[in-house]
């Protein structure tokens, strides 16, 4: 090694340690400024380990600051350089970072491949702390797809690794991640468990990146539980912290959740303003990520609430175009549910029924009883199907709302079913419906010799929907 190269290597190593310490202290903007000052020291044909670490840190900082597009290049460059150097640990952490970035950019297939490889590598070298982080991102990936059982499985695996690493703080953070899965399942009380402790610790450690997401989780759990004031307080605090710390990615998510609450409270002008802010950030930093899908679906919900049905359908159509790139199943089901209501308001019964059936199939395939129950209620409320046809489904939904403690939805059901109906009738009716449906599915399977495709066709449902029923009714195939 030439003396000048050796001097630069020693200097670069010291510099990179400084940047790494800034990142660990969550001083992300200071870290980014240091990285930019060092950039001219590296040449185009530099294949050193220092340049690999430089790119890794640059990608990590940009990702955490929310600039997903700009993070992609350095993350890929870091992986390329570590592969060239045959650095096992370097490849593992670069694979993990690239997986994180690709999730946010909507490339779930490649993201999972990189993350699974990084988990294997981290476990081989005994880096349980990093294995926990990679597993947590895989859990997040499955939650995007609406596969909450898989998400919970990987969350459990991540927790095991965090315990092995004696990483108490990350164990708390994994509770925050689990709260997301609980929220998506409508289980708001379980989502609240442990969040206060996590928020205290994340604030103490100045981990504002995670702290903002914890506040959003807290807010949405309160929102689901009908506690609007507490929800708004949490969202406003999340926005305040994200603005103060310049956490762009976190900020866009907080605006989106606040807009959802605004729509529910008929604050339409405020909702529109918050959605415009979220959309602008999303188009700049993650044009094909989850935020675009959610923003356009919420814009559709806003127009629906304003009774602007044509504009609502246009927004849902835009949402659908993003869903082609990113299979975010629960968002897709919610979008179809909104479309169904729009079509009813436009006296388009056939289109409405098709939209509601699409939503039902998606939620059945995801095994999400919470979203499925809400869909039955909204389909009944708007008259997409005859009430007599939906009554058994509504009786089943009543049990779901009672189990998850959603009294407002139970009240809506009472209005639909009629106060004259004794509440005790709900249980036998629910069981009667399930028994009849189970018999129908079992008969279709028997008549097709267990052929899933043929049985699904006979029943007029999709293969995933049939798999859901087989699992739910514990049928042997």
Q: What is the pLDDT of residue 66?
A: 80
The reply to whether 467 falls in a domain is yes
CATH number, domain containing residue 435? 1.10.10
For residue 228, the tally of other CB atoms under 10 A from its CB is 14
Tokens 């675009």 locate to 292
Q: What is the pLDDT of residue 438?
A: 84
What is the spatial distance between Cα 364 and Cα 75, in angstroms, rounded to a whole number? 37
The reply to whether 130 falls in a domain is no
Q: What is the pLDDT of residue 276?
A: 97
Per-residue b or e along 96-126, where b marks 16 or more CB atoms closer than 10 Å to that residue's CB: bbbbbbbbbbbbbeebbebbebbbebbbeee
Concatenated DSSP letters for 41-61?
GS-TT---HHHHHHHHHHHHH
Query: In whole angstroms, what separates CA 286 from the centre of its chain?
Result: 15
Name the domain count of the chain: 1
pLDDT digits (tens, 9 = 90+) for 373-413: 999 999 999 999 988 889 899 999 999 999 999 999 999 99
Q: Please work out, in degrees rounded to the nearest 5, the angle formed at the alpha carbon of residue 192 by the alpha carbons of 374 and 157.
A: 95
- What's the pTM? 0.78
Helices vs. strands in the chain: H and E counts, helices first: 25, 0
The reply to whether 370 falls in a domain is no
What is the spatial distance between Cα 440 and Cα 349, in angstroms, rounded to a whole number? 27
Q: Locate 350 and state its tokens.
A: 């056939």
Give just the sign of the alpha carbon dihedral 267, 273, 277, 279. Answer: positive
Q: Locate 322 and state its tokens.
A: 């993003």
Q: What is the pLDDT of residue 286?
A: 66
The reply to whether 305 falls in a domain is no
Q: How many residues are listed for the chain in this entry?
A: 477
The reply to whether 436 falls in a domain is yes
Q: What is the pLDDT of residue 9?
A: 58
Tokens 């995801």 locate to 366
**Euclidean distance between the first and the last CA atom of the chain, given in angstroms as a whole number:** 67
Q: What is the pLDDT of residue 44?
A: 67
The reply to whether 442 falls in a domain is yes
Domain extent at residue 462: 430-473
Helix residue spans in 125-247 (DSSP H): 128-144, 148-164, 168-184, 188-192, 195-204, 208-224, 228-244
Q: What is the pLDDT of residue 425?
A: 44
Concatenated DSSP letters for 170-181?
HHHHHHHHHHHH
Q: What is the pLDDT of residue 300?
A: 98
The reply to whether 345 falls in a domain is no
Give 296's contacts (C-beta < 8 A, 6+ positions apart): 279, 315, 316, 318, 319, 322
Give 135's contacts (C-beta < 8 A, 6+ positions apart): 119, 154, 155, 157, 158, 161
The reply to whether 450 falls in a domain is yes
Mean pLDDT of the chain: 90
List the pLDDT tens digit at each of the 477 positions of the chain.
444 444 445 577 888 899 999 998 888 899 999 999 988 878 767 888 899 999 999 999 999 888 888 999 999 999 999 999 989 899 999 999 999 999 888 888 899 999 999 999 999 999 999 999 999 999 999 999 999 999 999 999 999 999 999 999 999 999 999 999 999 999 999 999 989 999 999 999 999 999 999 999 999 999 999 999 999 999 999 999 999 999 988 999 999 999 999 999 999 999 999 999 999 998 887 665 566 899 999 999 999 999 999 999 999 999 999 888 778 899 999 999 999 999 999 999 999 999 999 999 999 999 999 999 999 999 999 999 988 889 899 999 999 999 999 999 999 999 888 743 444 444 444 565 567 678 888 888 888 988 998 888 877 778 888 888 888 888 887
Give just the sign of the alpha carbon dihedral 220, 221, 222, 226. Answer: positive
Q: What is the pLDDT of residue 41?
A: 79
């Amino acid at each position: 090694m030439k003396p000048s190269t050796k001097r630069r290597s020693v200097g670069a190593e010291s510099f990179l340690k400084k940047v790494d310490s800034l990142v660990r202290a969550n001083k992300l903007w200071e870290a980014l400024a240091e990285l930019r000052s060092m950039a001219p020291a590296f040449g185009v044909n530099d294949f050193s380990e220092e340049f690999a670490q430089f790119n890794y840190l640059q990608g990590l900082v940009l990702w955490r600051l929310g600039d997903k597009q700009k993070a992609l290049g350095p993350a890929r460059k870091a992986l390329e350089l570590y592969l060239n150097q045959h650095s096992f640990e370097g490849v593992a952490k670069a694979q993990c970072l690239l997986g994180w970035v690709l999730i946010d950019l909507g490339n779930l297939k490649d993201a999972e491949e990189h993350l699974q490889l990084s988990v294997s590598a981290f476990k081989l070298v005994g880096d349980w702390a990093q294995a926990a982080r990679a597993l947590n991102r895989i859990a997040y990936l499955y939650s995007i797809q609406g596969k909450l059982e898989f998400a919970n499985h990987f969350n459990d695996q991540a927790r095991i690794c965090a315990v092995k690493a004696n990483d108490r703080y990350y164990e708390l953070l994994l509770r925050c991640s689990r709260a997301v899965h609980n929220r998506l399942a409508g289980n708001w009380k379980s989502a609240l468990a442990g969040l206060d402790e996590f928020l205290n610790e994340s604030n103490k450690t100045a981990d504002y990146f995670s702290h903002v997401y914890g506040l959003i989780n807290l807010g949405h759990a309160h929102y689901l539980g009908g506690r609007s004031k507490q929800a708004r307080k949490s969202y406003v605090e999340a926005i305040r912290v994200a603005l103060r710390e310049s956490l762009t990615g976190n900020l866009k998510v907080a605006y989106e959740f606040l807009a959802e609450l605004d729509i529910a409270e008929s604050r339409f002008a405020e909702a529109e303003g918050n959605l415009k802010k979220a959309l602008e950030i999303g188009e700049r930093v993650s044009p094909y990520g989850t935020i675009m899908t959610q923003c356009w679906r919420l814009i559709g919900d806003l127009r629906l609430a304003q009774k602007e049905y044509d504009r609502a359908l246009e927004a849902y159509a835009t949402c659908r175009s993003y869903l082609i790139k990113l299979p975010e199943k629960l968002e897709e089901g919610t979008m179809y549910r909104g479309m169904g209501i729009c079509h009813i308001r436009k006296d388009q019964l056939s289109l409405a029924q098709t939209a509601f059936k699409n939503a039902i199939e998606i939620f059945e395939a995801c095994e999400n009883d919470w979203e499925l129950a809400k869909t039955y209620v909204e389909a009944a409320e708007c008259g997409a199907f005859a009430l007599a046809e939906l009554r058994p489904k509504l009786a089943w939904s009543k049990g779901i709302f009672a189990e998850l403690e959603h009294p407002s939805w139970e009240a809506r059901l009472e209005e639909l079913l009629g106060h004259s109906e004794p509440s005790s009738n709900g249980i036998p009716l629910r069981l009667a419906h399930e028994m009849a449906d189970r018999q129908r599915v079992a008969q279709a399977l028997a008549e097709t010799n267990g052929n899933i495709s043929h049985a699904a066709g006979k029943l007029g449902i999709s293969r995933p929907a049939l798999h859901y029923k087989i699992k739910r009714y514990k049928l042997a195939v």
